[in-house]
């Protein structure tokens, strides 16, 4: 299964148009589409894409699971400190 994330604009017709070349021909595929409106800041700016931030295409996907050294071990974390939640919201 491949995952593709894109940002798109929906015009006044209310229809989302998606053209994504996937390199497959003459095959059935299952497509799952999720959409979420993007919040803008006060100036109308949207968050930067990974490309705009300088990350290459599929940077994270290519590195996931790439560690080949000793297995990483998470040491015991101990007991969490006590918190007074009322102090956090006053």
What are 70's two structure tokens?
A: 């000793």
| Higher pLDDT among residues 76 and 22, named by residue | 76
List the domain range (segments joined by +) for residue 49.
1-55
User: Please, what is the average pLDDT of the chain?
Assistant: 82
First-to-last alpha carbon distance for the chain, in angstroms, is 47
Does 15 map to a domain? yes
Does 89 map to a domain? no
Residues whose CB is less than 8 angstroms from the CB of residue 26 and which lie 6 or more positions away in sequence, other chains included: none
Does 39 map to a domain? yes
DSSP letters of 60-88?
HHHHTT---SSPP-PPP--PPPP--HHHH
Predicted confidence (pLDDT) per residue in 53-87, tens digit: 888 888 888 888 888 899 889 999 999 888 888 88
Domain count, the chain: 1
Does 69 map to a domain? no
Does 17 map to a domain? yes
């Amino acid at each position: 299964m491949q995952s593709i994330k894109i940002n798109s604009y929906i015009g006044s017709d209310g229809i989302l148009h998606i053209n994504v070349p996937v390199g497959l021909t003459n095959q059935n595929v299952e497509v799952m589409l999720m959409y979420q409106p993007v919040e803008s800041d006060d100036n109308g700016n949207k968050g930067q894409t990974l490309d705009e931030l300088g990350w290459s295409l599929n940077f994270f996907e290519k590195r996931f699971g790439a560690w080949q050294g000793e297995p990483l071990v998470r040491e015991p974390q101990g007991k969490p400190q006590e918190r007074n939640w009322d102090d956090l919201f006053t």
